[in-house]
Structure 1
Amino acid sequence: MNILENYPENAIEVYEHALKKNPKDGALASKIGKALVKTHNYVKAINYYEAALKTEQQNFLRYDLAELLMKMKQYERCERILHQALAHEPVNELPTLSDDCRYLVLLAKIQNKVDKNEDALLSLQKARDVQAKVLKRVQLEQPDAIPMQKQLAAEICAEIAKHYTSQRGYERAVKFYKEALVYCETDRKVMLELARLYLTLDEVDACQEQCSVILKNDQFNEEATLMMADIMFRKQDYEQAVFHFQQLLERKPGTKISKSLDFLICLCLVPRYTGEPNDALRHFNKARKDNDWGQNAVYNMIEIYLNPDNDTMGGEVFENLDGDIGNSTEKQESEQLAVRTAEKLLKEIKPQTAGGHIQLRILENYCLLATKQKGNVEKALNVFTEIANSEKDHMSALLAMATAYMMLKQTPRARNQLKRIAKMNWTIVDADEFEKSWLLLADIYIHSGKYDMAGDLLKRCLNHNKSCCKAYEYLGYIMEKEQAFRDAALNYELAWKFGNQTNPTIGYKLAFNYLKAKRHVDAIDVCHKVLAAHPNYPKMRKDILDKARAALRS
Structure 2
Amino acid sequence: MKTGKQTNMKFELADLLIQLKHYNKAERVLLQVSQDDGGELESAMNETRRLLLLASLHEQTGRHADQLDALTQARDTQARVLKRIHVEQPDAVVDQKALAASICCKMAKHCQIHENDIQQAIKYHKEALIYDETDSKIMLDLAKLFISSGDLDACQQYCMQVLRTSNNNEDQASMMMADVMFNKNQYNDAIYHYDQLLKARPDHYEALARLIGLLHRRGQLRDAPRYLELAKVKVGEGKVDMDAGYQYCKGLYEWYCGKTRSAVEMFNMARCDSEWNEKAVENMIRICLNPDKSTLGGEAFESLQGSGENDNSAISTAERLIKEFKSSDSLKVQVLENLVLIATKNKTNIERALSSFVNMGQTKKDYVPAIVGMAVAYVMLKQTPKARNQLKRVAKMQWTSEEADEFEHAWLLLADIYIQASKYDMATELLKKCLEHNKSCCKAYEYTGFIYEKQMSYKDAATHYEMAWEYSNQSDPVIGYKLAFNYLKAKRNADAIDIAHKVLATNPNYPRMKKEILDKARATIRV
**TM-score past 0.5 threshold:** yes
- Residue in 1 that maps onto 2:227: none
Specify the alignment match of 2:201 in structure 1: 248
Q: Using the alignment, how far apart are the partners of 1:382 and 1:276 within structure 2? A: 33
Report the Cα distance in structure 2 between the residues aligned to 1:239 and 1:541, rounded to whole angstroms. 47
Percentage of pairs with the same residue: 45
Q: How does 1:132-531 map to 2 (within 5 A)?
A: 132=79, 134-135=81-82, 146-167=93-114, 168-198=116-146, 210-211=158-159, 213-215=161-163, 217-218=166-167, 223-224=172-173, 235=187, 241=194, 244-245=197-198, 247-249=200-202, 253=235, 258-267=243-252, 269-270=253-254, 272-322=255-305, 335-349=311-325, 354-355=330-331, 358-359=334-335, 361-369=337-345, 377-391=346-360, 392=362, 393=365, 395-422=368-395, 426-518=399-491, 522-531=495-504
Change (3 A) 1:139 1:516: farther
Distance across 2 between alignment mates of 1:386 and 1:248:
46
3-state DSSP class of the match of 2:35?
helix
- Taking the aligned partners of 1:184 and 1:295, their CA distance within structure 2 comes to 32
**Contact 2:105–2:128 (CA<8 Å) still a contact in 1?**
yes
* TM-score, with structure 1 as normaliser: 0.72
Q: Quote how far apart the aligned CAs of 1:226 are.
A: 6.0
* 1:193-218 deviation digits (Å, cap 9, x = unpaired): 33444565576676566555545533
Higher relative contact order (CA 8 A, sep 6+): 2
| Structure exhibiting the larger radius of gyration computed from Cα positions | 1
**Deviation, structure 1 residue 239:** 7.2
Distance across 1 between alignment mates of 2:79 and 2:378: 52
1:113 aligns with 2:51: no
Deviations 1:354-375 (A, max 9, x none): 4365245324413422xxxxxx
Tell me: CA distance 1:242–1:318, structure 2 relative to 1, closer, same or farther (3 Å).
farther
Supply the AA of the counterpart residue of 1:248.
Answer: R
- CA displacement at 1:139 relative to structure 2: 6.0
Residues 442-473 of structure 1: CA distance to partner in whole angstroms, max 9, x if unpaired?
21111011223323332333344332221222
Equivalent in the alignment of 2:10: 65
Could you list the per-position Cα deviations for residues 319-372 of structure 1 after superposition, in whole angstroms to 9, with x for gaps in the alignment? 1123x7xxx9xx96x923333443444454356664365245324413422xxx
Identify the residue that residue 85 of structure 1 maps to in structure 2.
35
Letter in 1 for 2:197: H
Residue correspondences, number: 478
2:160 and 2:499 mapped to 1: Cα distance?
A: 45
Query: Residues 321 and 116 (structure 1 numbering): CA distance in 2 closer, same or farther, change over 3 Å?
Result: same
Structure 2: stretches of 5+ with no match in the other structure: 19-24, 205-233
CA distance in 2, matches of 1:475, 1:340: 34
Q: Counterpart of 1:72 in 2: which secondary structure?
A: helix
| Alpha-carbon distance between aligned partners in 2 of 1:553 and 1:534, rounded to the nearest angstrom | 26
Length-normalised TM-score, structure 2 = 0.75
Shift of 1:219: 6.9
Kindly indicate whether the alpha-carbon contact (under 8 Å) linking 1:381 and 1:404 is maintained by their aligned counterparts in 2. Answer: yes
1:183–1:52 CA distance, 2 compared to 1 (3 A): closer
Q: In the superposition, relative to structure 1, how do residues 530 and 232 fare at CA in structure 2: closer, same or farther (>3 Å)?
A: farther
Residue 74 of structure 2 corresponds to: 127
The residue number in structure 2 matching 1:25 is none
